[in-house]
Structure 1
Amino acid sequence: MSTTDTTTPQTPEPEGPVPRPVRLIKNEATTEIPVHLLFRDEPEPRPVPLGPAVVGSRAGTGEQPRFRGTGEQPRYRTGEQPRFRRPVPARDRPLAEVDPALVERPARVLPGAAGVAAGACGAVGCVAASWWAGVLPPLVVDALRLPAYAGAGLGPAQWAAYAGAGALGLFGFGGLARGRTGRAWVLGLFGRYRGTVRRTGLLWVNPLLLRRRVDVRLRHWRSEPMPAADGNGVALRVVALVVWRVRDTARATLGVEDHETYLRECVEAAIARIPVETPGAGRGSVEAAGEALTRRVARDAGAIGLEVFSVQPVRVEYAPEVAAAMNRRRIAALDAQQRATVLTSVVDSVEDTVTRLTMRGLVELDDYERKALVKDLTVAFCAGRGEQSP
């Protein structure tokens, strides 16, 4: 009786050496690098779920816990690199920051006719209360053609009428104001900003509000000599002309104690930090320094609502302690430049004279005679230039 072999056939093993896995990165210095090392992050602390913060966590199932109140799942070795926000350079940050909620807004005012009407009503009420109390002079009664009335005397009702009419008249006439072009009022009540009035003409403003007048016209300011330095560190004195105006009255008035003093400090700080060209520099260098000063001051003063259009150095001179030495140095440089110019002119004149004499055949010169002629012409031309230069 034959027995059937039910044994599972074995897979024959390949003969020869086992092939190695294919290398992903290979060059002269590196043979192979594991892929998981290329995207390896620093180990992050694993969050520990606590009590009710865990929803549906299953131990041992490999499912990550979900956290209540967060919109993303925790990342565990996903290969994603952390993202960092690029910091703003210090030179691009404004010099100061004020309250962002302090922004100019229009105040609530009424036309001046409303104040005049209210004041007139108050005056009429006072006259009527006086006639009611019987204290109105007979001349006024005859002038106003009022009916004769004995009067009830000054009682509580009459005093109440006086108070109401007087308050109405005071509020009506006391709130009248005249708005002018180029001027604005910053209104405040108990230390709180209530708005800005830029309207013109006759207006009525609540008399309980504190008014601060601000000039919003285009203004020019010429500074006093301020310390500065050029690119080589030589001390200078610079007078700057600043063109500016108030753009946001709320910030300019309430953001700092004095916006004009703040602007002066900004200009002085900018001149001290930005190199200014020495006297006698080219026009392009002066314009470049003016543009740099304008950008700097406009950025610093913009934080308090000032708009700077131009900051130009109108006078640049050396500081008193170095003025004498730098003037001597400048005169020496100008003298050397003048001498070089004169010498170049003399050499060109001598060369032109000798060349013309030779090419036209007026003289035939050997080397010795040519050198002597060049020497005599050089002395003659230099003497003539020296007599003309003074």
Structure 2
Amino acid sequence: MNNEKAYSPVSGYVMLAIIAVLFIGGIWGLIVARTMWLILPLVISIVLMPGFFFVNPNGSMVLVLFGDYQGTVKTNGFFWVNPFFMKKSFSLRARNFDSDKIKVNDKVGNPIQIGVILVWQVHDTFKAAFDVDNYETFVKLQTDSAVRLLAGLYPYDNFDTDSEVTLRSAHEEVNHALEENLRNRLEIAGIRVIEARIGHLAYAPEIAGAMLRRQQAAAVVSARFKIVEGAVSMVQMALEHLAQQQIIELDEERKAAMVSNLMVVLCSDKDVNPVVNTGTLNH
């Protein structure tokens, strides 16, 4: 037997009534009738008492008799089974596991800190009870191993192009890969992975400052590129509009001066202070 199977126990209320009758009868026989053979119901009732147990909602009870797996009770209620059964309860509720922030190297070798949030639950009590020593410890260790593997598959960020999948940008793809990895790892312990996602992601402290400056520099370059691109378009549009409306005819030298002035105005970080020419165009 290597799979979970259901077990149907006896109602605890029925057995409670029977054991109560045996117990009271044994006490009566011992005290009132003073007949020694009537002590037998008292002994039987005491032997049967350990067979009682109850199962809460989203709970279960694994039953084993002298090393032989008998089954799992997942029905809620008050029950009685063979008092010689070993009973071990398992919660079937969904649980959250927020892993510790571990330091690993990403795909390009940069040290990063990463942590994950895992939502899981037990779905096969036989595997959780007998295929691993401690299923909760197994979840923690396998999650740690999966995080280390995930970090080595992707770079933290890519400053040169947006085409490559990174830990910081491709959340859906990275989280899906993490979830599939954990699902394969934890199946051996009868664990169902409900959700797995990165909960913490940052550069390691020793390179965080340098990487921040690099990100800022990349952002500045990108912003400047957009500004220059927009300024060129605006200058081109201005020259074409002047030519179409025939507002003023400019030679190449004056076009060059106008382009230079417009580019300075549009690309400058600060407000421009214009110099007003009160003479002619040539002076």
What is the SS of the residue equivalent to 1:104? coil
Instruction: Work out which of the residue numbers 263, 268, 278 in structure 1 matches 2:156.
Output: 278
Q: Does 1:132 align with 2:33?
A: yes
Partners of 2:122 and 2:36 lie apart in 1 by: 48
Deviation at 1:372, TM superposition (A): 0.8
Paired position in structure 1 for 2:96:
220
Q: Does 1:339 align with 2:224?
A: yes
Question: 1:80-125: per-residue Cα shift (whole Å, max 9, x none)?
Answer: xxxxxxxxxxxxxxxxxxxxx3321223521113311221221232
Scaled by the length of structure 2, the TM-score of the pair is: 0.84
Partners of 1:267 and 1:123 lie apart in 2 by: 52
Higher relative contact order (CA 8 A, sep 6+): 2
The answer on whether the counterparts of 1:222 and 1:241 sit within 8 Å (CA) in structure 2 is yes
The answer on whether the counterparts of 1:277 and 1:286 sit within 8 Å (CA) in structure 2 is no
The answer on whether the counterparts of 1:117 and 1:172 sit within 8 Å (CA) in structure 2 is no
Q: Does 1:103 align with 2:7?
A: no
The within-5 A match list for 1:55-204 is 101-129=1-29, 130-133=31-34, 158-162=35-39, 164-204=40-80
The answer on whether the counterparts of 2:51 and 2:85 sit within 8 Å (CA) in structure 1 is no
What is the SS of the residue equivalent to 2:97? strand
Instruction: Work out which of the residue numbers 229, 232, 242 in structure 1 matches 2:118.
Output: 242
Partners of 1:171 and 1:357 lie apart in 2 by: 106
Paired position in structure 2 for 1:231:
107
The answer on whether the counterparts of 1:242 and 1:312 sit within 8 Å (CA) in structure 2 is yes
Question: 1:52-78: per-residue Cα shift (whole Å, max 9, x none)?
Answer: xxxxxxxxxxxxxxxxxxxxxxxxxxx
Paired position in structure 1 for 2:162:
none
The answer on whether the counterparts of 1:279 and 1:316 sit within 8 Å (CA) in structure 2 is no
The answer on whether the counterparts of 2:156 and 2:168 sit within 8 Å (CA) in structure 1 is no
The answer on whether the counterparts of 1:239 and 1:315 sit within 8 Å (CA) in structure 2 is yes
In terms of fraction of residues, the more helix-rich structure is 2
The answer on whether the counterparts of 2:95 and 2:120 sit within 8 Å (CA) in structure 1 is yes
Q: Does 1:295 align with 2:180?
A: yes
Paired position in structure 2 for 1:56:
none
Q: Does 1:350 align with 2:235?
A: yes
Q: Which has the larger displacement, 353-362 or 164-173?
A: 164-173
What is the SS of the residue equivalent to 1:243? strand
Supply the AA of the counterpart residue of 2:90. Answer: V
Paired position in structure 2 for 1:262:
138
Partners of 1:276 and 1:185 lie apart in 2 by: 42
Deviation at 1:175, TM superposition (A): 2.2
Supply the AA of the counterpart residue of 2:32. Answer: W
Change (3 A) 1:254 1:170: same
Paired position in structure 1 for 2:211:
326
What is the SS of the residue equivalent to 1:313? strand
Deviation at 1:278, TM superposition (A): 2.5
Partners of 1:114 and 1:206 lie apart in 2 by: 14
What is the SS of the residue equivalent to 1:233? coil
Partners of 1:284 and 1:205 lie apart in 2 by: 55
Change (3 A) 1:284 1:316: closer
The answer on whether the counterparts of 1:228 and 1:276 sit within 8 Å (CA) in structure 2 is no
Scaled by the length of structure 1, the TM-score of the pair is: 0.62
Deviation at 1:343, TM superposition (A): 1.3
Deviation at 1:270, TM superposition (A): 1.5
Partners of 2:144 and 2:225 lie apart in 1 by: 40
What is the SS of the residue equivalent to 1:217? coil
Deviation at 1:219, TM superposition (A): 2.1
Deviation at 1:193, TM superposition (A): 2.6
Aligned-residue Cα RMSD (Å) equals: 2.3
Partners of 1:207 and 1:279 lie apart in 2 by: 60
- Which stretches in structure 1 are left out of the alignment for 5+ residues? 1-100, 134-157
Partners of 1:352 and 1:320 lie apart in 2 by: 48
